[in-house]
């Protein structure tokens, strides 16, 4: 079991999102900011396309030998005095983390940004057991105050505007002067920083995610722009790294290649502001660092993707470029997808993790425009994988009955050319006649979805094949 | 490959092109097909239209591999004898070029045939420019146009410069680029009906960009996208003429634009 999903209600979610004026305004920023910056960063690096190829190859190689690299990684972590825990599913991971927190006598846990922690729903679990989780990434902190999920994998609060954040801060930070000025974003940032500083110092355990786990050295790596991850993992006595199996990378050299495409694809930066390496607990002579170092490695359905066409999805380095370039994401935002991972990567990954019976809408809600694939730094063929989900749904009879019968009818005629010509000739003749006055239909009974938002242009009347036969016959006669 | 003219005697022989008419052009707007025939013949090709129905794309994108394969096999047979296959659509040409080989990837019997068809199938403007070396068309049209890059043509087949190059050869035509011309119009085949609200929002954004370009004519190379955009523009009461790029390139603009009546009425 993982966190609750509203993916089955994707359509309703989407319609609600489309009617939410504030959200629509916020989504406008995604369109502008991320796309231009990525484009500039990619153009400024002549070897960018070649780097994408090698990023793809590094990940493919790792996935092919994942068992070996996991073993090597575990050995290195153990040798450096840390502990590796393998969690089969979300429940396992929650229990392992709760156990470590209890052992540490933890009352407060600080957290760096981690999508895996969202996937296993760790915050609620800790709260239910009397432990207070505190998100330290600004965006995560804001959505924690609002009891929401991230709407974007690298910009969790991208769906909100400053006024909303101000209201949340006033609601929650009651100990501060009610008349303080919070009209500037920088004031919000300063306030969050000062509140979080106290929490950092009080925390008994720090949980971070990982962008990469390095098999060669047993190192976990996080990239952030706020530096909150460093404080989360250095200050408390216990550091827990929470990561999924596909975060493995063989060597530090490989990581340096992946980092070059990651930040550029994500935010257009050459590198994120902080790239932090941590290897095991503090050694004697180290200036700082945790006394206890744990790594929880989550499977949660991923190993069953290995060896299938969905294995390609495990290359994902969570840069967010696919959603930044997705017209559907731009239209409805991340929450409509109804689970942890939105956008094109979510449309492929979510059915793998929670079942296509629940997440079936996601791979269908795509125009297959292909813009996601064209920017993915590890060249995941996202539309193709979405199509593979559609095929699985079709095989399992999960495709809606109306779509199925429509396809069957179309297929029936398309496989019988003579009948097809007769039928289309008659149908287009009739439609052409009916639409002759206006040249279009404002309403069509068979295509209400279409005519709800746009007119249906009328056909010219005669089919091409009919006219071709007629005219060529005239010519040769 | 016995149909190919041999180097010595057949160098100047007319390439035999099979026109892959596509469902939408066949049913909705045959004039686009005749424009394509004219462009191909002007470029020195001999054009034939074998009996055909549908390439199977709607089934393929709906996850129905069985029906897609059935229809794909028919297509492969229908176009076997041609030197080239040309479609006035990037999406349908992309289906054959990119997806037929995928569709038959584990069928050693059909895969070579699928690959052979894929290799000789082209979208119209890219065929004219890249294969036939056409640099200019002999047609006239007066006015400013804006051009939408349909997704499959653009990203699967690299169609971007070719239609612009041909339009630039027409002295009366001024091309005004709209913002985000390479962003999806929201059509997506059955997507437009299945996820109608989302599709509606995407085409609404597209219509804004089209309007902001302030060109009286909108062109594109795919009828699905064109019907979507034309339908949205007319719904909003925007008097922008929408046409397939082939109609303008062939100088065949007698037919009323997409979604308008023969006798324009005060709507
Ligand atoms: S699928 Fe590709 S583009 Fe999307 S988040 Fe993953 S790596 Fe980035």
Residues B146 and B245 in one domain: yes
Q: What is the pLDDT of residue B114?
A: 98
Interchain contact B50–A (C-beta under 8 A): no
Alpha helix stretches (DSSP H) within A360-458: 361-364, 371-375, 382-395, 401-414, 417-434, 448-453
Residues B170 and B187 in one domain: yes
Cα dist from A56 to A234, A330, A345, A379, A380, whole Å? 32, 26, 15, 6, 8
**Residue B124 belongs to a domain:** yes
Spatial contact of A349 and A316, defined as CB atoms under 8 Å apart: yes
Confidence at A477, pLDDT banded by 50, 70, 90: low
Interface of B with A in 194-213 (CB under 8 A): 194-205
User: Of A60, A154, A265, which is best to mutate to test ligand 1, by the most ligand atoms within 8 angstroms of its C-beta?
Assistant: A265
| Least confident interval from A123-127, A401-405, A471-475 | A471-475
Residues B172 and B139 in one domain: yes
Residues B114 and B23 in one domain: yes
Q: Would you list the DSSP string of B231-243?
A: HHHHHTT---EEE
- Please tell me whether residue B105 adopts helix, strand or coil conformation: coil
CATH of the domain at B165: 3.40.50
Residue of chain A minimizing CA distance to B99: A384
Residue B102 to chain A, least CA–CA distance (Å): 10
Using CB atoms within 10 A of its CB, is residue A194 exposed (0-12), middle (13-18) or buried (19+)? Answer: exposed
**Residue B116 belongs to a domain:** yes
Nearest CA to ligand 1 atom 2: A376
pTM of the model: 0.94
* Cβ A320 under 6 angstroms from ligand 1: yes
Domain that holds residue B233: 135-249
Listed in sequence order, the residues at least 6 apart from B214 whose beta carbon sits closer than 8 Å to its beta carbon are: B144, B176
Residues B101 and B147 in one domain: no
Residues B125 and B142 in one domain: no
Residues B193 and B112 in one domain: no
Spatial contact of A207 and A173, defined as CB atoms under 8 Å apart: no
Residue A459 is encoded by which pair of tokens? 């056909």
Spatial contact of B24 and B91, defined as CB atoms under 8 Å apart: no
Q: How far apart (Å, rounded) are the C-alpha atoms in residues B50 and B129?
A: 24
**Residue B28 belongs to a domain:** yes
Residues B190 and B94 in one domain: no
Spatial contact of A206 and A236, defined as CB atoms under 8 Å apart: yes
Spatial contact of A337 and A10, defined as CB atoms under 8 Å apart: yes
**Residue B23 belongs to a domain:** yes
Q: What is the pLDDT of residue A437?
A: 86
Residues B125 and B139 in one domain: no
Q: How far apart (Å, rounded) are the C-alpha atoms in residues A337 and A9?
A: 9
What pLDDT, in 10s, does the model give residues B50-71? 999 999 999 999 999 999 999 9
- The pairing of strands B46-48 and A292-298 is unpaired
Task: Specify the CATH architecture of the domain A33-303.
Answer: 3-Layer(aba) Sandwich (3.40)
Residues B160 and B244 in one domain: yes
Spatial contact of B33 and B88, defined as CB atoms under 8 Å apart: yes
Nearest CA to ligand 1 atom 6: A316
* Cβ A318 under 6 angstroms from ligand 1: yes
Domain count, chain B: 2
Domain end marker among B71, B105, B130: B130
**Residue B262 belongs to a domain:** no
Give the nearest partner residue to B196 out of A364, A366, A453, using CB atoms: A453
What pLDDT, in 10s, does the model give residues B133-150? 999 999 999 999 999 999
Give the nearest partner residue to A415 out of B49, B71, B205, using CB atoms: B71
Using CB atoms within 10 A of its CB, is residue B16 exposed (0-12), middle (13-18) or buried (19+)? Answer: middle
Residues of chain B with pLDDT under 50: 1-10, 265-267
Closest CA to B217 of B237, B256, B243, B238: B243
CB pairs under 8 A between A and B: 215
Q: What is the pLDDT of residue A231?
A: 86
For residue A319, the CA-to-ligand 1 centroid distance in Å is 5
Cα dist from A115 to A108, A143, A200, whole Å? 20, 13, 20
**Residue B3 belongs to a domain:** no
Characterise B189 by phi-psi region: left (phi > 0), alpha (psi -120 to 50), beta (else): left
Listed in sequence order, the residues at least 6 apart from A49 whose beta carbon sits closer than 8 Å to its beta carbon are: none
Residues B94 and B193 in one domain: no
Mean pLDDT (whole number) for A386-398: 94
Mean pLDDT (whole number) for A159-175: 94
Q: How far apart (Å, rounded) are the C-alpha atoms in residues B186 and B205?
A: 9
Ramachandran angles phi, psi of A85, nearest 5°: -120, 130
Placement of tokens 């009397």 in the chain: A130
Mean pLDDT (whole number) for A116-122: 97
Residues B150 and B244 in one domain: yes
Spatial contact of A189 and A139, defined as CB atoms under 8 Å apart: no
Closest approach atom of ligand 1 to CA A153: 5
Q: How far apart (Å, rounded) are the C-alpha atoms in residues A209 and B202?
A: 35
- Cα torsion angle, A458, A462, A466, A470, sign: negative
**Residue B266 belongs to a domain:** no
Q: What is the pLDDT of residue A443?
A: 87
Whether B62 sits inside 8 A of A454 (CB atoms) is no
Q: Which contacts qualify for B45-48: CB closer than 8 Å, 24 or more apart?
A: B45/B14, B45/B15, B45/B16, B45/B17, B45/B84, B45/B132, B46/B14, B46/B15, B46/B16, B46/B17, B47/B17, B47/B18, B47/B19, B48/B16, B48/B17, B48/B18, B48/B19, B48/B82
Q: Where are the domains of chain A?
A: 33-303, 401-476
Q: How far apart (Å, rounded) are the C-alpha atoms in residues B145 and B166?
A: 13
Q: What is the pLDDT of residue B263?
A: 64
Alpha helix stretches (DSSP H) within A104-184: 115-120, 122-128, 138-146, 162-172
**Residue B255 belongs to a domain:** no
For residue A148, the CA-to-ligand 1 centroid distance in Å is 23
Q: Which helix (H) or strand (E) holds A243?
A: strand A238-244
Placement of tokens 């009818």 in the chain: A409
């Amino acid at each position: 079991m993982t966190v609750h999903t509203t993916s089955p209600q994707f359509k309703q979610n989407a319609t609600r999102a489309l009617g939410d004026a504030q959200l629509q305004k916020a989504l406008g920023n995604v369109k502008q900011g991320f796309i231009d910056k990525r484009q500039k960063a990619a153009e400024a690096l002549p070897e960018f396309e070649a780097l994408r190829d090698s990023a793809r190859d590094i990940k493919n190689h790792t996935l092919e030998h994942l068992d070996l690299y996991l073993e090597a990684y575990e050995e290195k972590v153990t040798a450096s005095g840390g502990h590796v825990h393998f969690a089969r599913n979300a429940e396992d991971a929650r229990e392992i983390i709760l156990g470590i927190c209890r052992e540490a006598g933890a009352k407060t846990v600080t957290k760096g940004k981690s999508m895996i922690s969202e996937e296993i729903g760790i915050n609620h679990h800790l709260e239910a057991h009397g432990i207070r989780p505190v998100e330290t990434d600004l965006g995560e902190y804001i959505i924690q105050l609002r009891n929401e999920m991230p709407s974007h994998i690298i910009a969790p609060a991208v769906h909100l505007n400053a006024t909303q954040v101000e209201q949340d801060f006033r609601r929650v930070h009651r100990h501060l002067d009610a008349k303080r000025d919070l009209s500037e974003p920088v004031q919000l940032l300063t306030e969050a920083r000062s509140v979080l500083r106290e929490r950092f110092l009080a925390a008994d355990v720090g949980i971070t995610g990982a962008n990469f786990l390095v098999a060669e050295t047993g190192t976990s790596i996080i990239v952030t722009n706020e530096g909150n991850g460093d404080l989360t993992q250095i200050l408390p006595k216990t550091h827990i790294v929470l990561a999924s199996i596909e975060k493995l990378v063989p060597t530090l050299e490989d990581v340096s290649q992946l980092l070059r495409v990651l930040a550029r694809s994500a935010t257009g930066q050459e590198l994120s502001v902080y790239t932090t390496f941590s290897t095991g607990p503090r050694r004697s002579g180290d200036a700082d660092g945790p006394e206890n170092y744990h790594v929880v490695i989550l499977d949660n359905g991923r190993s069953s993707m290995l060896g299938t066409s969905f294995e390609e999805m495990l290359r994902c380095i969570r840069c967010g470029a696919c959603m930044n370039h997705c017209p559907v994401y731009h239209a409805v935002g991340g929450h409509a997808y109804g689970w942890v991972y939105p956008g094109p990567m979510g449309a492929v990954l979510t059915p793998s993790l929670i079942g296509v019976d629940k997440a079936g809408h996601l791979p269908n809600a795509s125009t297959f425009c292909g813009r996601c694939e064209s920017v993915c730094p590890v060249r995941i063929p996202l539309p193709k994988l979405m199509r593979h989900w559609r095929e699985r749904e079709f095989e399992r009879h999960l495709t809606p009955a109306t779509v199925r019968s429509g396809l069957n009818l179309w297929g029936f005629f398309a496989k019988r050319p003579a009948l097809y010509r007769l039928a289309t000739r008659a149908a287009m003749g009739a439609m052409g006649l009916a639409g002759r006055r206006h040249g279009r239909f404002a309403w069509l009974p068979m295509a209400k979805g279409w005519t709800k938002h746009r007119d249906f242009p009328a056909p010219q009347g005669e089919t091409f094949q009919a006219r071709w036969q007629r005219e060529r016959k005239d010519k040769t006669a | 490959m016995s149909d190919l003219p041999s180097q010595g005697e057949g160098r100047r022989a007319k390439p035999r092109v099979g026109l892959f008419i596509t469902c939408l052009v066949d049913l909705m707007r045959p004039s686009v097909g005749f424009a394509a025939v004219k462009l191909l013949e002007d470029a020195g090709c001999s054009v034939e239209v074998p009996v055909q129905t549908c390439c199977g794309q709607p089934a393929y994108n709906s996850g129905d591999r069985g029906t897609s394969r059935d229809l794909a096999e028919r297509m492969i047979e229908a176009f076997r004898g041609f030197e080239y296959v040309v479609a006035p659509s990037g999406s349908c040409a992309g289906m054959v070029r990119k997806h037929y080989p995928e569709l038959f990837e584990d069928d050693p019997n059909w895969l070579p045939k699928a690959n052979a068809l894929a290799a000789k199938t082209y979208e119209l403007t890219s065929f004219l420019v890249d294969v036939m070396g056409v640099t200019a068309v002999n047609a006239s049209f007066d006015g400013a146009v804006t051009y939408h890059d349909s997704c499959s043509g653009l990203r699967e087949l690299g169609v971007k410069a070719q239609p612009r190059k041909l339009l630039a050869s027409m002295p009366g035509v001024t091309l005004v680029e709209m913002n985000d011309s390479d962003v999806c119009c929201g059509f997506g085949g059955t997507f437009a009906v299945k996820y109608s609200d989302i599709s509606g929002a995407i085409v609404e954004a597209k219509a804004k960009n089209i309007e902001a370009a302030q060109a009286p004519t909108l062109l594109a190379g795919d009828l699905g996208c064109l019907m979507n955009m034309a339908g949205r523009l007319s719904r909003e009461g925007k008097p922008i003429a929408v046409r397939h790029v082939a109609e303008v390139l062939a100088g065949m603009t007698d037919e009323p634009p997409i979604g308008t009546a023969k006798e324009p009425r005060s709507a």
